Amino acid sequence: MEAIAERANSTKPTLYAHFGDKEALYRALIAREAEAVSQWVTAAYETAGDLPMDRQVHVYVMAMFTYASAHPESFRMIFDAKSIGDAARLRLVDTITERVAAQIRTHLLTLGLTLGRSVDLLAAAMVGVVGKTAEATLRMGDLDPLTAGEFVTDFLTAALTNLEPAMMFKVDGVTVDPVDDARAQR
């Protein structure tokens, strides 16, 4: 706390008066960093709206890996600390997952499909892969995060390209393939 107070041109009593204790200060710091990641990722996502699916995946994945590369201390602080920053980390992951799910739903609508829980499950899986892989990349230390991001982009694009729609229908409890049903009604 003394070192933090010195860097902030403040005093320890002022820090304690404002934050209460070290843990509260750390939670506030993680919340600030999580908000920075959220803004970074959201800005990147906004550039991907009209791109084809594989390019959207690339933008989404690389947004996280680029942030991890440019701000490794911030990224580690958010994703390595497992209890103090849980609330901020969960809000960040939920925000990103909701955004990815919305993009998947938009893409499926262009194909004439409306799906439910399978989209949320798919978005959570994708966000989990990206987050854990970016975290592992930084922990390994000798991997270039941008190269790792390209690797994960390729992996997720291949997974999405080869995803059986029938599995999504099954998760959603759809007994008739909506694509086949639409064809039969023509």
* Domain presence at residue 156: yes
* Domain presence at residue 14: no
Backbone angles phi, psi at 21, to 5 degrees: -155, 180
pLDDT mean over 124-128: 94
Is-contact 119 101, C-beta < 8 A? yes
pLDDT-derived band at 98 (thresholds 50, 70, 90) equals very high
Q: Which two tokens stand for residue 23?
A: 């843990």
* Domain presence at residue 113: yes
* Domain presence at residue 114: yes
Does residue 163 register a pLDDT over 70?
yes
For helices 22-46 and 86-110, what crossing angle results, to 10°? 20
Average pLDDT of the chain to the nearest whole number: 83
* Domain presence at residue 153: yes
Residue type at position 12:
K
* Domain presence at residue 134: yes
* Domain presence at residue 139: yes
* Domain presence at residue 11: no
Q: What percent of the chain has pLDDT over 90?
A: 25
**What is the model's pLDDT at position 186?**
46
Q: How many domains are contained in the chain?
A: 1
- Report d(CA 73, CA 161) in Å as an integer: 34
Tokens 């680029």 belong to 66
Q: Which domain holds residue 62?
A: 29-166
Question: Residue 136 half-sphere exposure, CB side, CA atoms within 13 Å?
Answer: 9
For residue 57, give the 3-state DSSP assignment: helix
CATH number, domain at 117? Answer: 1.10.357.10
